[in-house]
Amino acid sequence: MTITEDNFERIVLGSSVPVLVHFWAPWCGLCRRVTPMLNRFQQEWSGQIHVLDINADENLKLANLYRLKTLPTLLFMERGKVVHRFDVLRNRDEFMRSLDLLMRCHGFEVGVAEGAGRLIDN
């Protein structure tokens, strides 16, 4: 789903589940390399978090509002508030561990869909 300044408040800030916002740009090579990891993360935590992309070049008001200094920048948001910010991505495994730890610290379990009470493909 494409997130823009027009739908950001409704989709991101109004989300009933945590949101991982991925600010990216088409010219950013690292942004493209992060995308498969984010897709895997979304699948592992299915139903418990939304991973959403925002093109920083096309949404300058949002980029300025969240004071982006580098791309990619990822914001872990819960109830409309930034809970954690990833400005620097050094290592793929470290990044994935940090995301998993963040989810566990917020009481979520990998592979358990909200309200389902059963394991989903791990």
pLDDT of residue 119: 30
Active site residue 31: yes
Check residue 108 and give left, alpha or beta (phi > 0: left; psi -120 to 50: alpha). Answer: beta
Helix, strand, coil percentages for the chain (3-state, nearest 5) = 35, 20, 45
Closest CA to 69 of 91, 84, 86, 48: 86
pLDDT of residue 120: 29
Active site residue 28: yes
Pick the catalytic residue from 11, 25, 28, 110. Answer: 28
- Radius of gyration (Cα) for the chain, nearest Å? 14
pLDDT of residue 89: 85
Pick the catalytic residue from 31, 34, 62, 68. Answer: 31
Query: Tens of pLDDT along the chain (122 residues)?
Result: 779 999 999 999 999 999 999 999 999 999 999 999 999 999 999 889 999 999 999 999 999 999 999 999 999 999 999 999 999 888 889 999 999 999 999 888 876 554 433 232 32
